[in-house]
Homo-oligomer: A and B are copies of this chain.
Amino acid sequence: MNDGLDAVFAALADPTRRGLVARLVREGPTTATDLARALPITRQAVVHHLQALGEAGLVDARRSGREVRYRATPEPLAEAVGWMLQAGARWDRRLDRLRERVEGG
């Protein structure tokens, strides 16, 4: 029962981290230093957050010269959404319709 779901949900449980994901989605690959500029926390803190996101597979680090650009990666979200739809299907008709969609391809 201990999938990567743990890491994914834990990663998304922090608003700073959700913000980082959102920003990486919006603005594409960005450095930690750059991301930290827009936040009230240290670069180190940002790096830690990015590592948490990285362990969840939601973020990908790639070095380019002396910089490291972080990029958002989507795959694990599908798994998490899948779990939620699976769980919610028996309650909520709308979620169940979604589940049929995602399972039907």
Interface size on A, residues (CB 8 A): 38
Closest Cβ neighbor of A80 among chain B residues: B84
When the two chains form their complex, are residues A77 and B95 in contact, meaning their CB atoms are under 8 A apart?
A: yes
A5 CB to nearest chain B CB (Å): 7
Determine which of B9, B15, B25, B101 lies in contact with A98 in the assembled complex, contact meaning CB atoms within 8 Å.
Answer: B101
The answer to whether B101 and A97 have CB atoms under 8 Å apart is yes
Measured between C-beta atoms, what is the minimum distance from A94 to chain B in Å?
7
Which residues of A line the B interface, CB within 8 A? Answer: 1-2, 5-6, 9-10, 12-15, 18-19, 21-22, 25, 72-75, 77-78, 80-81, 83-85, 87-88, 90-92, 94-95, 97-98, 101-102, 105
